[in-house]
Copies of this chain bind each other. A is one copy, B any other.
Amino acid sequence: MTSDLLEAQPGRRERKKLATRQALQGAALRLVAERGLDQVTVEDISEAADVATRTFFNYFSSKEEALLGDAPRNVAAVHRLVVERPATESPLEAVCQVLRAMILELAERREESLLRQQVIERHPGLLARQLGVYASFEHALATAVAERLGAGRADPSYARLVAAVAVAAARSSVSSWRADKGRRPLAEVVDAAFAQLRDLGSPPPPPRPRRRRRAAHAG
């Protein structure tokens, strides 16, 4: 997730740092998409983003990290974000709200996200790293849920379940939004998925009317 979630009102210095960070991420992505991971060095990326190589290492520890987008940073942020949600929210609700904000921010850089996923899937080593980041992300979420439930006393299985299924619902809503070619606003699709998640024990929604019949009714 990008800075909106992390700092509500970034100052000029923060905005500049964010711009450099995004320039490095964008350069890494474009170069690796063009040439393949082995043909791109940290020097190439720094040059393309017009910064010194030394500066690159202020932001990322390796070219692989620069390619993973904001996911590694989100791992560090997600625990705090869930813990800081209003106490009136259930743990599930708190997790869903944080994931919702992250998805909507990600969607603002949609083209980049799609390119990133293509690049990652072409490089099994990157895919393995991304899986590791996702596992850490889910672990951080589960820890935050356990804290909201009452530190040290909560059922860790329940916390793990809430984290796993909320992430699955979020992921599935993005797939549905893509499959639907973005005809419905992403926020609406995400909200519908989380509402269905909370309501899973109830009977499934009724079948949608067939298009032809609906057209007849309308006419």
Contact = CB atoms under 8 A, between A and B. Distances in A.
Interface of A is mostly: helix
Contacts of A127: 124, 127-128, 131
A189 interface: yes
A165 B205 contact: no
Contacts of A208: 153-155
Q: Which has the most chain B C-beta neighbours within 10 Å: A153, A173, A189, A204? A: A204
A207 B149 contact: yes
Given A157-B189, A165-B172, A176-B156, A201 B204 contact: no
Number of copies of this kind of chain in the complex: 2
Interface residues of A, number: 50
A164 B157 contact: no
Interface of A: 90-92, 121, 124-125, 127-128, 131, 149-150, 152-158, 160-165, 167-169, 171-173, 175-176, 179-180, 189, 192-193, 196-201, 203-205, 207-210
12 contacts: A121-B128, A124-B125, A153-B208, A154-B208, A155-B205, A157-B192, A157-B193, A158-B205, A161-B173, A161-B176, A167-B168, A201-B201
